[in-house]
Amino acid sequence: MFRYSLILFLFIFFGTTTYSAKARLLSWQTLEDDLYLKVQLNFDKAIKYSSYKVQKNHAHVYTVPNAVNSRFSKRQDLSHLLAISFWVSKYKRGLQFKFFPRGVEKLSSKLINKNKTLEVTFPSPYLARKQIDKRSENFVVCIDAGHGGQDPGAQGSFSNEKEVVLKMSRALRDEINKKPGLVAYMTRDSDYKIMLGDRGKINDYAGADVFISLHMNASVPSAHGFEIFYISKQGAKDYKSKSPKKNIPKILATKKEKSELILNEILDDLMQNETMNESALFAQALAYEMKKVKSRRNRGVRREAFVVLKNIETPSVLIELGFITNKKDEAYFNSKSSRQEMSKHIANGVVKFLQKYKSLPKTVGDSFYKNTQRPIITKYPKILVEYIDYKVKRGDTFLKIAKKFKVSFSKLKRANPKVNPDRLYVGKKLKIPKIIQ
């Protein structure tokens, strides 16, 4: 009896001691910046950990021995550009954390806060405008390969959409980079999913001058040919301005604040219409060149409220290259020589558009977190604009004036909203925007 009681006492004592010594997961938080996403896992005691990567599903696994979790369900949603989610589960006598990054190959990790916090860092693979084109001498063309990762897109007889458009995006990138004064930038160059709303953010952060999203269509087997879409009027209505505004109800606003709200609404409307009009011209320029490929049918240029085209402040189009459900279209875009042929024509369309409607490339892009309340490190100084007056002289055109003062055609139009570029007369006064720091 005594022996049995002693064994029971030792079991309870050491079992309780072992359990009480386990570190408890108290909370987790994220820190976000243009350069990274950091996930911090907070414990009540100092911990140790080990990590490894699973090549098959690109999961990054972190194991924390002698730890327990009583607060969180298995899946924790991040819904971030750089990571979908992470999973918390029991593993032997500890915990295991599985992270699923988007487009990030290597994660870094370390212990902080007296070894009570495990910090996992996702470095951003996305480049800013100044990294892509340091001297702002070239036009940046953003190429977006649709779908990716667990989203395969439309299915053909022997291929799927995400694979075909990625190959086509790489071919187009190579053709764009051959053109003097152009540089291509891809939203993704491997197989992972990017949320539709994030594709525009990548474009704007890169400060791209034009945006092309590539897709394959699907329908009945007889349907074939390409279609080009630009943002519709309904899509423009859903547009959310990126300029900071005071969130003040009009009924409570002062006279000055009401004037500012009205002015912001007018400016937003002008920018929406300008982006939509430029996108229409861009789509027409691409269609004109693409229809030169004899074996391809031109199904026309259309307007549609695609999510991927919303909130992009540059000329943007979505190209349905062909029907993956059509044997000839599928075979064409699975051929390397055919992809090169079509890429050359698309690249020519980009050049024609930029030569006709754009005088100068952009200089900077936008932060991913420009309008959020999160603490971030801003990458760009505040830009101030002043205006100088100019009288139109004999032989002047709107484009010539823009080139003379080294401003873009669209910026000059925004500075002179009541002026028709096709109806200039000698002596007409224009306002020339000039950037000052």
pLDDT for residue 309: 84
Crossing angle of helices 336-357/255-290, nearest 10°? 130
Are both 261 and 344 inside the same structural domain?
Answer: yes
Are both 348 and 273 inside the same structural domain?
Answer: yes
Q: Which of 100, 279, 107 minimizes the C-alpha distance to 200? A: 279
- Judge whether 240 and 372 are in contact, CB under 8 Å: no
**Average pLDDT along the chain, 437 residues, taken 10 residues at a time:** 51 47 90 90 95 90 94 84 91 94 92 96 94 90 94 95 98 97 95 89 93 96 95 53 45 51 49 72 96 94 86 89 97 97 98 90 79 36 59 90 85 82 88 66
- Kindly provide the residue ranges of all beta strands, DSSP E only, lying in 23-93, ordered along the sequence: 23-33, 36-43, 50-54, 59-64, 67-68, 75-80, 83-91
pLDDT for residue 372: 46
**365 falls within a domain:** no
Q: What is the DSSP letter of 28?
A: E
Are both 150 and 286 inside the same structural domain?
Answer: yes
pLDDT for residue 435: 58
3-state secondary structure of 339: helix
Tokens 């990294």 sit at which residue? Answer: 131
Strands 23-33 and 67-68: parallel
Are both 75 and 213 inside the same structural domain?
Answer: no
Are both 153 and 97 inside the same structural domain?
Answer: no
Query: Of the residues 74, 92, 123, which one is the last residue of a structural domain?
Result: 123
**366 falls within a domain:** no
Are both 73 and 141 inside the same structural domain?
Answer: no
Are both 259 and 166 inside the same structural domain?
Answer: yes
Are both 107 and 66 inside the same structural domain?
Answer: yes
CA 51 to chain centroid: 29
Are both 247 and 297 inside the same structural domain?
Answer: yes
- Kindly provide the residue ranges of all beta strands, DSSP E only, lying in 182-315, ordered along the sequence: 182-186, 210-217, 226-231, 298-304
Residue range(s) defining the domain that contains residue 142: 129-357
Are both 282 and 340 inside the same structural domain?
Answer: yes
What total of structural domains would you count in the chain?
Answer: 3
Q: Which of 248, 279, 277 minimizes the C-alpha distance to 264? A: 248
Are both 33 and 114 inside the same structural domain?
Answer: yes
| pTM for the structure as a whole | 0.72
- Judge whether 179 and 247 are in contact, CB under 8 Å: no
For 300-313, the three-class secondary structure string (H helix, E strand, C coil) is EEEEECCHHHCCCC
**63 falls within a domain:** yes
Q: φ and ψ at 38, to 5 degrees?
A: -120, 130
**What CATH code is carried by the domain that includes residue 98?**
2.60.40.3500
